Structure 1
Amino acid sequence: MSDRIWHKGEKAFRIAKPMLLAMSGVLYLFPRFLLKELFEWTRGIPGYLGVAVRYPFLIRLFGSVGDNIAVMHNVTFAGDVSTASFGSHISLWSNTWIDCDGLKMGSHVMLSHNSSIISAAHVYDIEGVMMRDAVLPGPVIIGDNVWIGAGARIIGPVVIGSNVIIAANALVTKDIEDNCVVSGVPAKIIKRIGNNYSPIKISK
């Protein structure tokens, strides 16, 4: 693949980055509880305007944030966002649900429409304990170069390797190794793929 190929979103981010960082600096003047409310309000802003508005809030509220993270409209972040870390070049598409408790996401990750990352599960086999009262925390760790298909569900605790495709509507409840495609309910490996990927370089 040519080194001259670039994604227009990545080029736009590079141009806008100084302004976005300046906006995030201004947000440090406000208390976190107010910023959380304002961030929630930005969920409904569509298009690239919404992506640009939300990015400074990510820097201010989340534990660790890389470059060029596109959060589309109607993405829901639940749990303690300050414990979540994101790499760079990530796309979170509309109507996704993301539990942030302990979430670690690498770089070059795509989370498609209507998919979910759930970082806790209800335990059903403890005698005398109602399922609603038995919640097992389960952080989710995602590697680099991962494509999560539309409608997929990831329920922690799980570790998803790098160079992985999770097919649409798959249900992931167990760890996934590197370099594979998984599909089904529950998700199982259906194909092995090469590990010779490399991030696309942005032309100047």
Structure 2
Amino acid sequence: MTPTEIDKKRVEYAYTNLSNLPKGPEYEKMILGMAYNCWVKELLMARSVAHEKALDYGNIRLKNYDFDIEKHQEARHRYLAAIFGKVPKDAFIEPPFFVDYGCNVSFGKCFYANFNCTFLDPTFITFGDYCILGPNVTFTTFSLPSDPKKRINAVEHTAPITVGNNVWFAANTVILPGVTIGDGAVIAAGAVVRSDVPANSVVAGVPAKVVKSYATEEEKKEAFAAAGGVF
């Protein structure tokens, strides 16, 4: 069900913990999954600036810093910090990458993304520590209605993506809105993830399904019970 009231706690979380935000009523509705107008000046401007900064990131040249790799990496981090909501010093993102807004994405420590990763982030995309992205990985937090009458009116739905610690996304994976991925999971190459992924599991296929688990028997029982099962 689409929310109809502002969740003040989630808005406060964004304003307190994330950077580069286009603050305002439409932004607040957007991150909460409410109906919003993505064409208001503030949101259009934020997207356009983020798109250009992401493109500029690929033009940071080592030769312009006298082949000093530390200065080069510092320059890269300054660009990332001007795009994303939260990015630690040790994050490493290969160019090119693409964002919708960028400001709603937060990374944990030791984050790495390979070439051509895409973050469509009208709402939150949150990574834990030690996450690794292969090339051409896509995270999208918004979708359009299948009803063409609603779609033609530019109605959008958003839902956050949450990623635990030590998760590996292999090449060409797609993560859809509202998904939560547990600690230690592996998303196999080409997988399309549209439902939650248990911790310490490997998922593969379209749609992605669990093909292997590294969980102990006790962890499996706890997860099963938490989902409403009975042993």
Q: TM-score, normalised by structure 1?
A: 0.69
Amino acid at match of 1:104: T
Which stretch of the first structure deviates more once superposed, 158-167 or 58-67? 58-67
1:80-125 Cα offsets, whole Å, 9 max, x none, are x22221111011110111123311111100111011111111121x
Matches within 5 A, 1:177-188: 177-188=198-209
- RMSD over equivalenced CA pairs, Å: 2.7
Counting aligned pairs with the same residue, the percent is: 24
What does residue 55 of structure 1 align with?
77
What does residue 11 of structure 1 align with?
none
> What is the distance in 2 between the residues matched to 1:129 and 1:38?
32
1:63-90 Cα offsets, whole Å, 9 max, x none, are 22224100101111222x2222111101
Are 1:176 and 2:191 counterparts?
no
Structure with more of its chain in strand, by fraction: 1
> What is the distance in 1 between the residues matched to 2:209 and 2:198?
11
> What is the distance in 1 between the residues matched to 2:160 and 2:61?
29
Q: Unpaired runs of 5+ in structure 2?
A: 1-44, 63-68, 217-231
1:132-185 Cα offsets, whole Å, 9 max, x none, are 723211221111000001000111111111100000000001111111000000
What does residue 7 of structure 1 align with?
none
> What is the distance in 1 between the residues matched to 2:184 and 2:134?
16
Deviation of the 1:52 alpha carbon: 4.3
Q: Unpaired runs of 5+ in structure 1?
A: 1-31, 196-204
Secondary structure of 1:128's partner?
A: helix
> What is the distance in 1 between the residues matched to 2:166 and 2:61?
25
Secondary structure of 1:82's partner?
A: coil
What does residue 112 of structure 1 align with?
134
Q: TM-score, normalised by structure 2?
A: 0.62
Deviation of the 1:131 alpha carbon: 5.9
